[in-house]
Amino acid sequence: MRPILLKGHERPLTFLKYNRDGDLLFSCAKDHNPTVWYSHNGDRLGTYRGHNGAVWCCDVSRHTERLITGSADQSANIWDVETGAKLHTFGFESPARAVDFAEGDKLCVISTDPFIGAPSEIHVKRVEKDHSKQSSESLFVIKGPTGRINRAVWGPLNKTIISAGEDCLVRMWDAETGKLIKQSDPDAGHQKVVSSLAKSADGSHFITGSHDKSAKLWDIRTLEVLKTYSTERPVNAAAISPLLDHVVIGGGQDASQVTMSDRRAGKFEAKFFHKIYEEEIGGVKGHFGPINALAFNTDGRSFSSGGEDGYVRIHHFDADYYHIKM
């Protein structure tokens, strides 16, 4: 395959997200402009101007109307996807990290970093269809975990919120009361910072990537570790194929170590694993730095990776990818 290289960001990528139809790809980077691209040919459709800090995460509504972004400028913005207009800004006391729309797009969850003595928080906000009625009030705020909460997503039927972050644990919260329902077994779970979390297409399970050099597959209702994929470098990003029983994980050595060695030693590949057998299938090379973000297109026929090198690479699979035998 010949990947499409997108050089729109001037700083390392942080997050990638396809919309539900799979025709648009949203990219977030440490520069201040989240960008949207056509996923089939890589044309840039537009950028969302208005943030004043690194953008850590984004989510797009089911019908591709609204985009929400969380940024280090202590805000989370809601945008009109098609015009790039900023519709609303949620202000916080500390940098916003993870954002996720609930099923139905009436609620969203936003996590904020610990900042000058304040602990990290998970905010749940109501999202109005008519943005002029949008309020900045949080329905409730969850506090408790120490360290950053790198990802917070909605569980099945919006009944739970799943969060994971620097304290290595995956937690499940009640989405109505904000009470802790369950947390992962520290021995079975990750031993280091959980850097990413991505749900499967049907939302029944999810994958987490951690700096402990592994990615794990979890049941979203029981927080049971189903599978573990081990690799030889810290995992920054992981995604589950919606089409085949594959997962892809990406990472690499620490950004500070990159310039110290040859790029081949850094292992900046996106590694494919068989979801069930936990066996490594292969790797896709290309980035000059660690991979920070991975996303599968919703049809499972292409995936994109974003690296510390500032590039997004969209890979459309060759025909033989679909006939890989284990």
Partner 1 sequence: MGPMRWGDAADEDEGIEGVLPPMQVMGPDEKGVKIIIEWRKKEDGSKVKVTTTVRVKKQVKRLNPAVIRRRSLKKFGDAVGQNSSENLTVVSTEEIFLERFRPVGQQGAKQEEKGADLASLGNASLIVCRTCGKKGDHWTSKCPFKELAANRGFNIGGEKPPGDDDMGMSSSSGPGGKASYVPPSMRMGSKGDGESMRKGRDDNSIRVTNLSEDTREQDLQELFRPFGSISRIYVAFDRDTGLSRGFAFINFVNREDAVRAINKLDGYGYDNLILRVEWATPRTDRA
- Residues in contact with partner 1 by the rule CB under 8 A: 1-8, 21, 23-24, 33, 35, 37-38, 41-49, 63-64, 82-84, 232, 259-265, 269, 271-272, 279-286, 288, 313, 315, 317-318, 321, 324
Q: What are phi and psi of 319, to 5 degrees?
A: -60, -35
Cβ-defined contacts of 47-54 (< 8 Å, 24+) = 47/8, 47/84, 48/77, 48/79, 48/84, 48/86, 49/84, 50/77, 50/79, 50/86, 50/89, 51/75, 51/77, 53/95, 54/11, 54/14, 54/29, 54/30
Q: What minimum distance in Å lies between the beta carbon of 190 and partner 1?
A: 20
Q: How far is CA 257 from CA 30, 118, 254, 262, 292, in A?
A: 19, 31, 5, 10, 15
Q: What minimum distance in Å lies between the beta carbon of 224 and partner 1?
A: 26
| Cα gap 5→274, rounded to integer Å | 26
Q: Which two tokens stand for residue 263?
A: 């790029």
Q: Which is nearer to partner 1, 66 or 97 (CB)?
A: 66
Q: What minimum distance in Å lies between the beta carbon of 286 and partner 1?
A: 6
Q: What minimum distance in Å lies between the beta carbon of 148 and partner 1?
A: 28
Q: Which is nearer to partner 1, 43 or 176 (CB)?
A: 43
| Cα gap 83→275, rounded to integer Å | 38
Q: What minimum distance in Å lies between the beta carbon of 56 and partner 1?
A: 19
Q: Which is nearer to partner 1, 92 or 272 (CB)?
A: 272
In single-letter form, the type of residue at position 186 comes to: P
Q: Which is nearer to partner 1, 47 or 200 (CB)?
A: 47
Q: Which is nearer to partner 1, 27 or 184 (CB)?
A: 27
